[in-house]
């Protein structure tokens, strides 16, 4: 059982985490949800389309203008409080690697801390434990936050992913984070080149076999763009194909921009796998 906030998710229930960037320079939407009202509209739409989790981020992943912890908190804390007020049952996740920000957002109602940089701040897991929040343990290959990989090498990329994410997950539980609220993430693009991310996808079942719920953040990423030679705005089909493969291999949580399209892909895969009945079954019965 995966338990996040007030929600419990069954073993074969795919979970959508919708991205809401509180940044003026996000790589995909270029700041479309930086202001409060567009961001709240985005939350409302994502929930209506089937997102169970809203993932709020105050710093873009890539290099750019420095964002202090104070500025990151300014962008996220008040917004988390407002989302909590308007949507009491939605699971609120905050994408941060800083324990100061984690503390502030948990204080106003965040349910999950999404640490995309592989435990670079070990105190973040302590914050999650103190508040009973969920934690995403991501493989970033030891990369510093907001850096791009350069000629990174792994003897076995999945072995490294497993070693680091399982270590982070077990440490989190030892600190008091509820085991049923910990997820592991292979960290597509983080500390990896395109071939590494493709291999991580191909071998995702090895992560699933550990028993920890697997989260994948695939949406419009560079490994999709390089694989198909497509710019950011033309990566949706490649993202959805990768989503289908990940779902077939057993991933549980999907961090996405396109919620409605992802919902259809996940429902189709679940029905093929026999975990979901067709919405309508009239063919051949008339």
C-alpha 199/C-alpha 157 separation (Å) is 8
Distance of CA 47 to the CA centre of its chain: 16
Main-chain phi, psi angles of 64, to 5 degrees: 165, -165
**Do 200 and 188 form a contact (C-beta atoms < 8 A)?**
yes
- Asked about 255 being catalytic, the answer comes back as yes
C-alpha 16/C-alpha 2 separation (Å) is 13
- Catalytic position from the list 203, 221, 235, 252: 221
**Do 243 and 201 form a contact (C-beta atoms < 8 A)?**
no
- Asked about 221 being catalytic, the answer comes back as yes
- Catalytic position from the list 255, 263, 276, 282: 255
Distance of CA 250 to the CA centre of its chain: 15
DSSP string, 64-99: -S---HHHHHHHHHHHHHHHHHH-TTSEEEEE---H
The set of catalytic residues is 221, 255
């Amino acid at each position: 059982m995966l338990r996040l906030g007030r929600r419990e998710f069954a073993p074969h229930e795919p979970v959508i985490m919708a991205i809401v960037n509180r940044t003026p320079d996000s790589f995909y939407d270029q700041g479309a949800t930086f202001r409060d009202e567009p961001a709240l509209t985005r939350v409302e739409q994502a929930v209506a389309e089937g997102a169970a989790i809203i993932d709020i981020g105050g710093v873009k992943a890539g290099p750019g203008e420095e964002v202090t912890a104070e500025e990151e908190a300014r962008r996220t804390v008040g917004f988390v409080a407002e989302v909590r007020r308007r949507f009491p049952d939605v699971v609120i996740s905050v994408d941060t690697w800083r324990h100061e920000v984690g503390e502030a957002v948990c204080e106003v109602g965040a349910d999950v801390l999404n640490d995309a940089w592989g435990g670079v701040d070990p105190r973040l897991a302590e914050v999650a434990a103190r508040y009973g929040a969920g934690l995403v343990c991501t493989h970033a290959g030891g990369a510093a936050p907001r850096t791009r990989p350069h000629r990174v090498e792994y003897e076995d990329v999945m072995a490294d992913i497993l070693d680091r994410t399982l270590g982070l997950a077990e440490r989190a539980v030892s600190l008091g984070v509820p085991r049923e609220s910990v997820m592991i993430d292979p960290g597509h693009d983080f500390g990896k080149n395109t071939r590494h991310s493709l291999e991580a996808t191909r071998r995702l079942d090895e992560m699933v076999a550990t028993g920890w719920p697997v989260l994948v953040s695939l949406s419009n990423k560079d490994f999709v763009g390089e694989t198909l030679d497509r710019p950011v705005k033309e990566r949706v089909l490649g993202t959805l194909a990768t989503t289908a493969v990940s779902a077939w291999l057993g991933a549980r949580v999907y961090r996405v921009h396109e919620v409605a399209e992802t919902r259809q892909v996940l429902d189709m895969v679940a029905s093929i796998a026999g975990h979901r009945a067709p919405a309508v079954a009239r063919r051949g019965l008339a």
